[in-house]
Structures are given as C-alpha cells and as structure tokens.
Structure 1
Amino acid sequence: MKKIEIHTTLEAYDDMSELDSTVHSLMQQSIAARHKAYAPYSNFTVGCAILLENGEVVTGNNQENAAYPSGLCAERVAIYAAGAQYPGVAIKMMALTASPIDDSLTIPVPPCGACRQAIAEYENKQKSFIPIYFMGASGTVVKSDSLKDLLPLIFDKSYL
C-alpha cells in the first residue's frame, strides 16, 4: 500500500475591502441574494452570484421545502438558472455567502458536496476553471481558483 497526498492552495482576504471592484460587486450581489433566501426550516441563508463571460450576472439563493430534500441550494439555483437562461455562455466566476439569519457567521462557508459536483460539471462542460469566492455574513473571504481545489477527486463523464 502507498499513500497519496493531495494538496490545495486557497487565497484568503481579511475582508471584502481587499477584493477588486468586480469581485466586490459580485460578492455584494450574493449578499443581496442571501437576504432573499427562503429558509424557514434551517434559518440558514445562502446567496450566490455568478458572473458570465457576456457580463451578465445570475443570482440564486437557497430554497427550502418542508418535504426534505426537495429544496435546493443557492449555488445550484444560480448555476442551473445560468445554464438555462444563457446556454453556451461560460461562467467567469462565482461568489457566495452564507450565514444564519442573524448574520452572525464570520467564517467562510464553501459550497456543499452536491453543489461542488454541480460546479464540477460546468467546469468540465466549459473546459475552463471557475474561480469561487466564499464567505460567511462578513469577515474573511476565501478564493478557490477552481472547483478542483475544493473537490480534487471529482466524478465526471470519464467514469461512465
């Protein structure tokens, strides 16, 4: 037996003031989307904003349902909406923010596993990386250059 090590490098910004204007604006749009989330069961809101190559921004937020797991995460709401509304247009970057409804969370929250798999599909589909910026309600912002930094052993069509 031998061990395989996987390493990843992420960038961390102390707060949103360190972001360039494009990323800052996208993060602000993800915050606005988070405040519109429908999360009456978990009281945990998530917002996502996606910048497309054509300059359009598509947002999404988590949508819960009493019949678990019928709801959908913000990242998948946004990425599927982008794919449906702008087929063939590449995703340039995405920003997301997550926190309990009291905005108390100050640690970065990455996408869940199901959302990571959905983002991986779009990276493979467009044959280019999607930088992902994520944070809590405030505080540190983390940047991943590609979904592969968050999910290095992705499942893709090569296994089918």
Structure 2
Amino acid sequence: MKEITFTTKFNAFDTVEELPNDVQELMTEAIEARKNAYAPYSKFRVGVAIALDNGEVIVGSNQENAAYPSGLCAERVAIFYAGGKYPNAKIVKMAITAASDTNQTTAPIPPCGSCRQSIAEYEIKQEQPIQIYFMGEIGAIYKSESLKNLLPFMFDKKFL
C-alpha cells in the first residue's frame, strides 16, 4: 500500500472590497442573482455570475421544485445557459454566493457535488481552468484557481 496525498491551495479574502475590481463587480451580480432564487423549500438562496471570454456575464439562481430532483442549482442554471447561448465561449471565472432565509451564512459556501461535476465538464471541454470565487452571505471569500482544487478526482470522458 502507498499513500497518495493531494494538496489544494485557495486564496482567502476577508471582504468583497479586497477582491480585484472585476471580481467585485462579478460578485455583486451574483448577490443580485441570489435575490431571484426560487427557494420556498430549502430557504437557501444561491446566486452565481459567470464571466465569459467574450465579455458576456451570465447569472443564475437556484430554482427549486416540490419534486426535489426537478430543481436546479444556480451554478448549473448559469453554466448550461452559457453553454447554450455561447457554445464557443470559455468560462473565465465565476462568483458564487449563498444565503439562508433562517440564519446568516458567514462561511464560504462551495458548489455542491453535482455542480462541481458540471463545472468540471466545461473546464475539461475548454482546456482552461475556471477561477471560482465563493462566499456565504457575508464574510470571507475563497478563490480557487481551478475546479481541480474542489474535485481532485474528476470524472470525465476519458473514462468512458
């Protein structure tokens, strides 16, 4: 037996004001998108803003459904729309924010497993890493240079 160790590196910012200006703007759009979340069941609202290499910004918010598997997370709403509208554009960076209607979220909230896999698909397709910034409602923001930091054993088409 041998042990395998993975090391991941994130940058941590204490406030939105510490982010680069373009990322501050992206996070502001994600915060606005979060307000449009349809979350009557979980009471957990997520907003995302995606910057594409063509200059477009795509936003998304989570959309729930009484039949839980029928809803969709904010990240996938935005990624799939970007893929459908701008199929040749690359995702440069994304800003994610989450807030609960019942208690204040102060810790950075990363994408869920399904969203990580969807982000991985686009990162692999475009052969370029996607910077991911994520936060709660307030407080610290974490930055990952690539989805590989969040999902080191990515499943992709080479396994099929």
Q: TM-score, normalising length from structure 2?
A: 0.98
| 2:130 partner letter | I
Tell me whether 1:51 sits opposite 2:40 in the alignment.
no
Question: How far apart, in 2, do the equivalents of 1:73 and 1:23 lie?
Answer: 21
CA contact (8 A) 1:108 1:140 kept: yes
> For residue 115 of structure 2, what is the aligned residue in structure 1?
115
> For residue 4 of structure 2, what is the aligned residue in structure 1?
4
Question: How far apart, in 2, do the equivalents of 1:25 and 1:157 lie?
Answer: 34
| 2:58 partner letter | V
| 1:75 partner letter | E
Q: Deviations over 1:19-66 (max 9, x none)?
A: 111000000000000011000000000000000001100000000000
Unaligned runs of 5+ in 2: none
Question: How far apart, in 2, do the equivalents of 1:52 and 1:134 lie?
Answer: 17
CA contact (8 A) 1:103 1:137 kept: no
Task: Quote the offset at 1:103 in angstroms.
Answer: 6.6
Of all paired residues, the percent bearing the same amino acid is 58
Question: How far apart, in 1, do the equivalents of 2:131 and 2:101 lie?
Answer: 26
CA contact (8 A) 1:95 1:134 kept: yes
Q: Deviations over 1:107-130 (max 9, x none)?
A: 100000000000000001000000
Secondary structure, counterpart of 1:69 in structure 2: helix
Unaligned runs of 5+ in 1: none
Question: How far apart, in 1, do the equivalents of 2:88 and 2:132 lie?
Answer: 20
CA contact (8 A) 1:120 1:147 kept: yes
Count of residue correspondences? 160
Q: TM-score, normalising length from structure 1?
A: 0.98
> For residue 152 of structure 1, what is the aligned residue in structure 2?
152
Task: Quote the offset at 1:145 in angstroms.
Answer: 0.2
> For residue 31 of structure 1, what is the aligned residue in structure 2?
31
Question: How far apart, in 1, do the equivalents of 2:55 and 2:139 lie?
Answer: 27
| 2:126 partner letter | Q
CA contact (8 A) 1:106 1:136 kept: yes
> For residue 79 of structure 2, what is the aligned residue in structure 1?
79
| 1:121 partner letter | E
Tell me whether 1:20 sits opposite 2:39 in the alignment.
no
Q: RMSD of aligned C-alpha atoms?
A: 0.8
Secondary structure, counterpart of 2:98 in structure 1: strand
